Chain A
Amino acid sequence: MKGLIFSVKRYSIYDGPGIRVTFFMKGCPLNCLWCHNPEGISPFPTTVMQTNKVGEREFSKNEEVGKYYSIDSILEILDQEKVFINQSKGGVTFSGGEPMLQFEFLLEALKSSKKSGYHTAVDTSGYSLAENYQSIIPYTDLFLFDIKHLDEAKHIESTGVSNIRILDNYRLLMESGKDIMVRIPVIPGFNDDPDYLEKLRQFIILSKNDSLKKINLLPFHKIGSSKYKKFNIPYRMGNTEPPDKEKMKKMKEFFMETGVKVKIGG
């Protein structure tokens, strides 16, 4: 069994506790306007032209975006990083794309990682079948769960899918007894007006229990825009600027009233 992975990040420090290895799995059912990994949306391997200059001459080659990894090769990478993972109480994170899109591989990868003693995290949009989440719960220590918008119409408008299933799965995981970190991408003009934020805060307060360990506020950033150019994908965020630091700080304080730990960034 093999999984399609478009990036492996070592010394990954924003995707769960400690120093981790994050596997970015290719393919996503969502199509968020602000996506900062646009190359991860398509579920097929692609290539990108990589140009390098040597002296005055330019050389190009096609680089693969998305390679197939076996479970063994996943474990090999984890074992290479073991010393850092152990020292920092880190682990492995499966992100994407949407890792649940390659559910069978993900399940095996989680099982094997757990068996080898690694802390496991799944970074998910929540858009998958409930029974699939039920299957991975026993092998997952932490869920990084995105809440992009509570309003269905708005959700569809900017991600291409309804949020009903997402919110159901959120409640399901909250009852799983596993750790959850809620990740809120803060997208100016989309989900940052005060009325909405108040609604979101109420939602969190009402739905939370001990499983909810942290709220991560992920400010929109433009680092992704260069990727759009590189991968030749139309950029859809126009001139949207990242929210300023002051605003993020206030938002952090605002969400701290939920009684949950809040962090700006991953």
Chain B
Amino acid sequence: MKRMFALLLTLAMVLSLAACGGSSSSSSSSTSSSSSSTETSSADEGWPGKTINVYVTHAAGGDTDYMARQLCTALEGVLGVSVVATNVTGSNGATCMQQYKDGDKDGYTFIATNTAALNGNEATGMVDFGYDAFEPVAVYGIQSGENIVVPADAPYDTLQELIDASIANPGQIKYGTSTGGGVYIQTCVLTNLGGAQFNIIDAGDGANRLTALLGGEVDATSLPYSTAADYIENGQLKSLCTCLSKAPDLIPNQPAASDTVPELKIDTEYVLLAPKGTPAEIVEAMNAAVLEATGTDDWNTMVNDYCFQNPFVLNVEDTIANLKEQRDLFQSFVPFL
């Protein structure tokens, strides 16, 4: 009797958990509005017939995750099956890519990441494979990018003036970097191809670099636009340039770093990949679904609000060309990384 009571208790505990979990996550289910699923999936017989898993290389809360999840939701409407995003994180996305590059090739496994991580990890030697270890599906967005920022009262207003100031006083201007990632590549280009003579200090991730800049530990650094925007607006910091190849569509009046240092183009684009060996028809069909899913007004508004960009979605061929272009650029930096 006592034992049965105990059993019931354990059960009640477990079930109460189930109740809590179930009630609050039901709101994530898709609100499918279109019935065009038959049209797009005709490329491959019967695909998609079950839940599609999308593995996201970066943690929930970041931009890579947000964009991936927005895409998944939009894809559910087009494909008519569940598209579930799961985060497998670590080492700037390398953990996930390593784990799923040879994953199931049945068209139900995809990887959502960003191009700077994909090509950057290869260039810095973190991993020994590049985009060609995958079947690229689609580039589906572009980030608002990183800006080179300095305190508002700093004596330089352009990237050229900052570089000149560093040459005039070699090793005196402290530049905050984050060793290993896209920011590191950018710092290396600035130093080796731009000729800057900074005292390079490791200052950690975006938030830490912000702290270091505000606290005066570094004199200049690069920050994601979204992190720096408020400080620029309230007059604590000023932006010298964006590191994107061209300023974001919705914040157009910014000089690009490549005007001063031509090679300094760090474009972070969101990209969907499939494991190597996934049938070409499925890749094409998925690309078509992505194009359709991102062709809506909702998507447009979301991208405008979140990325300060207009929608940027490529077909398979252009996606591969795009990845190759960035890889070649990043590989040209390898000698001094």
Specify whether A and B are partners: no
